Chains A and B, each alone.
Chain A
Amino acid sequence: MACSRKWAPWALALAMAVAGVQGPARAAGYVDVLDLPAKPSALAVLSPLRDVTRAGDRLVAVGPRGHIVYSDNQGQDWHQASVPVSADLNALVFANAREGWAVGNDGVVLHSRDGGASWARQLDGRQIGTLVEAHYQALAKAHPDDPQWPAFAAEGQRLVEEGADKPLLGVWFVDARHGYVVGVFNLILRTDDGGNSWVPMQDRTDNPQGLHLNAIHAIGDELYVAGEQGLLLKWQAGQQRFVSLPSPYQGTWFGVLGKPGEVLAYGLRGHVARSSDGGQSWARVNTGVTQSITAASIDSNGDYWLFSQAGQVLRSRDGGLSFAVQPQVPPAPVTAAVQARSNGTVLVGERGVRVLPAR
């Protein structure tokens, strides 16, 4: 029919117009970062990243929005891992070439069994409060005359009330079973089964003020925690406790690094301290910079490298006794650094990954 033929395109156009007005109607619901898988993005490797480490020969880095990227050619090409959350990730560690853990905001603990290519959630901020509260309430019940347990239980209750808001800032695994995560306000948990279950350790730190714990790191057999207001802790296996070390500086430490027999702590406003007796005594090291030292690494020669928030690069050839600023262009903030196999250093920071060639 001529008539229907004539009208058909119009009808079609009308139908399309109606569809266009309505649009692909999708539910406008907010999805929490803990339930929203990280989106793949070509920008992930060029965007802020917060930590980088080695998993065997592979390099793996974490950053905001659940970004985890890995490289099998020492930082040249990167792939984005599949991650079940889009929370900001802060730190990661690998116990061996395959098993690794990453922690981040919202109390997130992720676990990888394949060298960082895919990750599964082990813990998040919605569980931590309950876990802490239950642990200390059980202790309070078991030891009714010990006044410390109700206080820790109350602290656990506060964590429950706060919700998922529990930034974890550091992670360390001694081996594939035993590890620790640390975070703000003296939050510290330990696992002895590869992350399947976690035990609160708040009662095992010499941190009465509940200062933030920024990083946890082992040097040889010695396990150190760096924190706010000069807090430096060391694990004493005999006491089953993180005991306080005499810090030479009362500002924030962002991390510790070292070789057996040498420990360096680095932190706010260019402050670096060195100990050669396992942290019993510390000497200040003059770096000559006033910017915060936010990252450090050791190269294959055993030289220490420090990186400041302003992008300055310092190097020590004498075991950390003295540092010299290295010429480097262009400076960009560094939040973590790791020695690559190819003898360069891979840096991550505000502008993603950079490779600092070895000199």
Chain B
Amino acid sequence: MANIKQDTLPVIRDLKDFDPRSGNLLERMVFNYRPLFMLFMVLVTGVLGYLALTRLELRPSFEKMIPQSQPYIQNYLDNRKSLRGLGNSVRVVVENTQGDIFDPEYLTVLKQINDELFLAQGVDRAWMKSLWSPGVRWTEVTEEGFQGGTVMPDDYQGKPADIEQLRQNINRAGIVGSLVATDFKSSMLVVPLLDHDLATGRGIDYRQFSQMLEQQLRDKYEYAGDSKARRAGEEGHGKYKVRVIGFAKLMGDLSDGLVQVMMFFALAVGTSLLIIYLYTRCVRSTLLVVCCSLAAVVWQLGIVGWLGYAIDPYSILVPFLIFAIGVSHAAQKMNGIMQDIGRGTHRQVAARYTFRRLFVAGVTALLADAVGFAVLMLIDIPVIKDLAITASIGVAVLIFTSLLLIPVALSYVGVGRKAAERALRIDRRAAEHRGFGKLWDALDRFTTRKWATGAVLVAVLMGAVGFWASLQLKIGDLDSGAPELRADSRYNRDNAYITRHYALSSDLFAVMIKTPPEGCLSYQTLMLADRLAWELQQYPGVQTTVSLVNAVRQITAGSFEGNPKMSSLQRNQDMLNYAAQQASVNAPELFNNDCSLMPVIAYLKDHKAQTLDDVVAIADRFARENSTPERQFMLAAGSAGIEAATNIVVRDANRTMLLFVYLAVTLFCLITFRSWRATLVALLPLVLTSVLCEALMVAMGIGVKVATLPVIALGVGIGVDYALYLLSVQLHYQRQGRSLGEAYQNAVAFTGRVVGLVGITLAAGVVGWAWSPIKFQADMGILLTFMFLWNMLGALVLIPALSYFLLPDKRFVAAEPETCAAPTPPDERVCQPQAPTRMSA
């Protein structure tokens, strides 16, 4: 039964009986010059390994995570240099847990932190703001005009009178809620960062900056040197807490998370070792399989580094997947060789046999995987494109390492005799309906009317419930805080603290108003900015708005002795110019140097997709109604603006990508099976998994976002492997005239273990991600694990059940027996579609 195809290649015990000129050109090139080939592989691995070590960078890039050609993003990128206030700054909050800020000791610590940050590399010192900054001033209208001074008294010495003076200055400076917490228990340092370090001229290394914050500030002031507690993610128990938010810190934390995720790779390798060993019970081949798969990862990383790509939180997925796919292919090769050796064939011949049987099949399977990756190229988000490219490189590499290197290496080391015999024994027992045979028998029942109907009904029911649930699927991020990190991460806890104790949220949506130089100061422009702000404020999701208008109103009132009735926009250009000149000192972030760009910033209460959509709709309508060539209202900047644009792209991409991945897989199945019915049988389980995956996302509160886009494509692209394995063998037998039950039984006996192995190794490769400190990676890990496993289950159960309805015996009885496209060979059993042979494990 299970050995039909094995018989097609004779057992050759002695190498002398084997004709080395047999086999195709590639086989002869590789196997007749084995030492040369091995030398080549070792050399390439060495070179690429060196490249990987020296060239590869860990670089979470903000730009790469946003859809570059989306019009809103282009507006933002075109003008980002002018958007100082939305630029790159870090907010450091120093909290006194045992009192308030009017504590001389607290103020001393604050000064030390202020000084350290002031001297830190990359800090734009001129614009740094804290209670200790000379630029933080109070002003007051007096009989003689404005009077003012620094908030921190000039001659501060920590005496009670000084503290009292400070308290008064804070009140009249109006910085409660911005630099001072509303409960007076903490104060903030606003630390703007330079785009390029003045000393080195290079971009700021966020990871380094973030580590500086951790090691110089947190360790010293919050943990009092107990950096172990910090690394454990606990909060310090000392008198002070240092809370940091801002883009640089976020990027730093992401980088740290990446390093942690790389540790999970060891976990994936360990799990694979265990799985392969359990499968083969042969130490040397287990090590060989894992080493060759690691070589694939080294190659992939080396090429990626050589081409100048960096490892980011998304592309770090690729080594995991490549390793897992490599392991599953390698395991199949090894399995074939093991059986031949077990039967007594010489190991070199066994390796060549396996190569013959599996090379084309392996390439086909890898192509199917590549389809899943290639579809991702359609998504206009650089990280996803990079993921697609680097993964395609990885798949190409697997042709060398898994399909060529493994058989050649196995021809040297062979497999343990005991293990080889065990492999044969397992198959024999299965054929006798013992051991695995019992499981195969159970699965075989799904080809009978009762079980098939039951399985299909259950699947339809699950599909319906899943579909109903998936209607609740949301676009975008559903939690508050930085969506990249977990809700309970230190960063997000800090963010929540700051949101609670300071007036403004961290979800900023900005509309940019572009005019000719000096245009932002015109009365009409300011008036329109004010109207836009007012329209935005009408939406309940907008907490408040800030623009140059706020500053102009305030300064105008100030120049009328603070008369609140003069807090208006005046038509007088001198008045407006004066206000803007004052604003350029106090609030330079509200417009650019030549006054050709000013943002209207809305502070949103959250960044849920609905909020963002509504705000975009309001702003977009206003922009269309009021834009003229000289005065353009452009969406969108700010964290929420970028997220809104990303959501728009993701929503489209999700649909396009699903369409294309299914189109590609359908084509692939049609070519392989040459039957639309078989294609349906292969695809329907995948559709069910996709629907259930969306339902799972709803249940787990995961929105459709950049990180989840690749999941379905990969799930479908790699998931179709199972159907290819099972169905092609089943079809082969059905076309030979066997009954469905028999055909499926053969198919599952051949491939059942491999399907299981592939599902489990793939899942093992990514499941570790669920513990990633980076939230979207955790989401990806959970969803991919689910898809890999559920696709496997779906294939084993639903393929027989659907075949009962779609591929009934009568279709094959009526048809002529399958004939070969190639000239008919003497042995009809040699005439097999390539795909089934790959499964001859």
Contacts and interface: CB of A to CB of B under 8 A. Distances in A.
B538 interface: yes
B571 A163 contact: yes
B625 A268 contact: no
Interface string A27-38: 010100100000
A64 B537 CA distance: 15
Contacts of B537: 43, 47
B672 interface: no
Contacts of B155: none
Contacts of B528: 30
Contacts of A105: 568, 570
Interface in B564-578: 564-572
Interface in B125-179: 141-143, 171
A112 interface: no
A18 interface: no
B38 interface: no
A167 B141 contact: no
B40 interface: no
A226 B411 CA distance: 104
Interface string A298-332: 00000000000110000000000000000000000
Contacts of A30: 524, 527-528, 626
Nearest to A33: B527
B625 A26 contact: yes
Given A33-B527, A269-B143, A310-B171, A167 B628 contact: no
Nearest to B560: A212
B819 interface: no
A165 B572 contact: yes
A254 interface: yes
B797 to A, nearest CB: 37
B143 A251 contact: yes
A229 B144 CA distance: 9
B603 to A, nearest CB: 15
A28 B626 contact: yes
B143 A167 contact: no
A48 B565 CA distance: 10
A209 interface: no
Interface in A159-190: 162-165, 167, 169, 184
Contacts, number: 83
A332 to B, nearest CB: 12
Contacts of A24: 624
Contacts of B142: 251, 268-269
Q: Of residues B534, B561, B570, B626, which shows the largest number of chain A Cβ atoms within 10 Å of its Cβ?
A: B561
Q: Of residues B524, B568, B570, which shows the largest number of chain A Cβ atoms within 10 Å of its Cβ?
A: B568
A350 B561 CA distance: 17
Nearest to A271: B143
Contact of B567 (A48, A184, A252): A48
A42 B538 contact: yes
A91 interface: yes
A351 to B, nearest CB: 11
Contacts of A310: 171
A65 B625 CA distance: 19
A333 interface: yes
Contacts of A53: none
B624 A165 contact: no
A91 B568 CA distance: 14
B581 interface: no
A42 B538 CA distance: 8
Interface in B525-539: 527-528, 534, 537-538
B572 A65 contact: no
B565 A90 contact: yes
B563 interface: yes
B624 A26 contact: yes
Contacts of B566: 167, 169
Contact of B570 (A48, A165, A349): A165
B141 A294 contact: no
A90 B537 CA distance: 22
A71 interface: no
A43 B538 contact: yes
B190 to A, nearest CB: 24
A310 B562 CA distance: 12
B104 to A, nearest CB: 25
Interface string B240-264: 0000000000000000000000000
B627 interface: yes
Interface string B641-664: 000000000000000000000000
A26 B171 CA distance: 47
Interface residues of B, number: 28
B538 A41 contact: yes
A333 B537 CA distance: 21
Given A90-B565, A250-B143, A165 B571 contact: yes
Contacts of B563: 169, 214, 252, 254, 294
A228 B572 contact: no
A234 interface: no
B571 A292 contact: no
A333 B557 CA distance: 14
B304 to A, nearest CB: 39
Contact of B624 (A23, A33, A212, A254): A23
A250 B528 CA distance: 38
A175 to B, nearest CB: 25
Contacts of B571: 106, 162-165
Contacts of A33: 527
A266 B571 CA distance: 29
B149 to A, nearest CB: 15
A88 interface: yes
A64 B568 contact: yes
Contacts of A309: 562, 564
Given A43-B537, A105-B568, A252 B624 contact: no
Nearest to B141: A268
Contacts of A162: 571-572
A137 interface: no
Nearest to B633: A28
B601 to A, nearest CB: 18
B20 to A, nearest CB: 60
A28 B627 CA distance: 6
A51 B563 CA distance: 13
Interface in A8-40: 23-24, 26, 28, 30, 33, 39
B564 A294 contact: yes
Contact of B565 (A169, A229, A292): A169
A212 B171 CA distance: 28
B568 A292 contact: no
B567 to A, nearest CB: 7
Contacts of A268: 141-143, 561-562
Nearest to A125: B571
Contacts of A274: none
Contacts of A251: 142-143, 561
Contacts of A167: 565-566, 568, 570
Contact of B562 (A23, A165, A184, A292): A292
Interface in A246-272: 250-252, 254, 268-269
Given A165-B572, A212-B560, 7 more contacts: A64-B568, A105-B568, A167-B566, A169-B563, A228-B561, A292-B561, A292-B562
6 contacts: A28-B626, A105-B570, A163-B571, A167-B570, A252-B143, A292-B561
Interface of A: 23-24, 26, 28, 30, 33, 39, 41-43, 47-48, 50-51, 64-65, 88, 90-91, 105-106, 162-165, 167, 169, 184, 212, 214, 228-229, 250-252, 254, 268-269, 292, 294, 309-310, 333, 335, 349-350
Interface of B: 141-143, 171, 524, 527-528, 534, 537-538, 560-572, 624-628
Nearest 5 Cβ contacts at the A-B interface: A165-B571, A251-B143, A252-B561, A90-B565, A88-B568
